[in-house]
Structure 1
Amino acid sequence: MRKRARQESAFLNIPYDRRYESLYLAFIASLCAFGLRPRATIEIPSTKRRLERIIELIQGCRYSFHDLSRVQLDRNSPTTPRFNMPFELGLAVDWALGANPEHGWFVFESRAHRPEKSLSDLNGTDPHVHDGTAHGVLRGLTNALTRKIHDPNLAELDSIYRDLSKAARKIKESRDGSLFEARPFQDLAVLARQLAEERISSLRS
């Protein structure tokens, strides 16, 4: 049962901020359309040791998706870049190169060629460039995931994403404007799965 859960799960390593909201929804919609269960650090209870739980999440997933588009300094003092995304990518790569070579990890970016400068150790790995748009995320995931059982096309992904975005507005209203919390994340994943089952016949069996 644990192996099956791992095969159906995908770790989502992305920024949590309002500017990223549409891309966040695009990832959730698409992963569910491919028959995967999205997992993320926002599920981690505050009572849990965070690093250990992140490692458990990565190791419990068949895939991981890492967006390195937030490399710029933030505006709040002290001005610093975000290191969480590349750090968690490193944990996933270590897991894939060591104990579990079946783990598939994918890098996403908003700008082409930037990883060659920001993280040159990845040279030889082609990132999926989304141009900072939800459509770019949908397109990138169709290229990253080629599954024999569930293989939605771009139009199907776009339809699921648009309906999920409409529902997300109501969820935000009921959660004081935040989608980047454990409960909204779970609600969005459940709804995305339902929307996907309505459109993709292979998910109904």
Structure 2
Amino acid sequence: MFVNCAFDAQYQPLFYGIVFTIVRSGFRARCALEADDALESRFIKIQSIIGECRYSIHDISRTELDGVPPLPRFNMPLELGVFIGAKRYGGAPHADKRALILDTVPYRYQRFISDIAGQDIQYHNGNVVDAITKTASWLRNKSRRTTVPGGAAISAEYELFQADLPNILNGLGLQEHEVTFSDYLTLIESFITE
């Protein structure tokens, strides 16, 4: 499952909650952070991941102005467009692609990406529990897997995981800022297995 969202420190709790939900639900989370190869274009890597994933989650909530002059970052809408294009023009191998689109509040996206007004957009209000719940419900509905727990159950497990994470990292000799995306996936898988 392709995860298309911001990777900055402010968004990290939502990102980690969504990734935990994906792994806990029995799916493999994929994103641009999974491989760090300076010889490979990030956008080409993203296109490759999109080509390999049936499901995706696109959080288009991070459109704040930044820098001088102040401009928004539109990487997430761009990657959403690539995923939509793959479904539309990718032929039979991509016809079954499904996507969850998240934003913070209802209809805000219409101010900066109005062409997707016909899509079903879900809202998390910047809240991790809401993001987990929306993700779990969507995964259960689209995959039709009865093994995907409800959002409340996953949120409770995620809270336990987050509380135990400092001890886990300490035991591995890692500090939180040193954890890579691959490390995080392994930590989640180990926690779920135990």
| Alignment TM-score > 0.5, same fold | yes
**1:72 pairs with 2:64:** yes
Cα-Cα RMSD? 2.1
1:162 Cα deviation from its structure 2 partner? 1.3
Q: Which residue of 2 aligns with 1:174?
A: 174
Q: Which deviates the most, 114-123 or 84-93? A: 114-123
- Go from structure 1 to structure 2 and tell me whether the alpha carbon gap of 1:167 and 1:20 turns closer, same or farther (over 3 Å shift): farther
Gaps of 5+ in 1: 1-9, 199-205
Partner of residue 55, structure 1: 47
Q: How many residues align?
A: 184
Alignment counterpart, residue 153 of structure 1, candidates 150, 153, 158: 150
Residue 194 of structure 1 corresponds to 190
SS at match of 1:128: strand
Structure 2: which amino acid aligns with 1:139? T
User: Alpha carbons of 1:50 and 1:145: their partners in 2 closer, same or farther (altered >3 Å)?
Assistant: same
Instruction: Report what 2:77 is aligned to.
Output: 86
The amino acid across from 2:58 in the alignment is: H
Q: Which residue of 1 aligns with 2:2?
A: 11
Secondary structure of 1:195's counterpart equals helix
TM-score relative to the length of structure 2: 0.85
**Which residue identity is paired with 1:94?**
G
Where 2:147 maps in the other structure, the secondary structure is: coil
Distance 2:7 2:154 in 1: 22
Offset at residue 176 of structure 1 (A): 6.5
Which of 94, 98, 109 aligns to 2:103? It is 109
Tell me if structure 1 keeps the 8 A contact 2:60–2:101: yes
1:47, 1:175 → 2: CA distance? 27
Shift of residue 163, structure 1, vs aligned partner? 2.9
1:13-72 Cα shifts (integer Å, max 9, x gaps): 111111112101101110011111111111232221222111001111121111011112
TM-score, length-scaled by structure 1:
0.81
